[in-house]
Amino acid sequence: MLDLTLGTPARGLTLELWRVDGVAEERIKTVVTNDDGRIEGPLLEGDAFAAGTYELRFMAGDYRKHAGGPLPEPPFLDVVPVRFGVADPQGHYHVPLLLSAYGYSTYRGS
């Protein structure tokens, strides 16, 4: 993850991985980014990495509060959800987040 406001890795950003099946949602894992703005290893591996719909929830508001700089209350971006599908569990899925206080972008990385 990259903090576009500060121009640095988004260290200390909490994110949750959820499995979504219709209206049912199951939180699978919660992690925090390291000093390089990355997580330590894959969120899912082996048989746990199955085809389906998933959602990453980035706790952007909490992160921005601790990262410094002016921030309105409530923050414009609080929890940033990114819902995506895994069609091929043998493939590689990397979902980076480029974050500022007022916007974000994401893509399927390599």
- pTM reported for the whole predicted model: 0.93
Instruction: Give residues with Cβ within 8 angstroms of 9, minimum separation 6.
Output: 1, 2, 3, 33, 35, 36, 37, 38
What is the pLDDT, as a whole number, of residue 110? Answer: 83
Q: What is the mean pLDDT of each run of 10 residues along the chain (110 residues)?
A: 94 97 96 97 92 97 87 92 95 94 93
- The pLDDT of residue 76 is 93
Q: Which domain holds residue 23?
A: 2-106
Domain count, the chain: 1
Predicted local distance difference test score (pLDDT) of residue 68: 78
What's the CATH code of the domain at 50? Answer: 2.60.40.180
Res 7: pLDDT: 93
Q: Residue 80 corresponds to which amino acid?
A: V
Q: What pLDDT score does 67 carry? A: 87
**For residue 47, which phi and psi values (nearest 5 degrees)?**
-65, -20
pLDDT at 70: 74
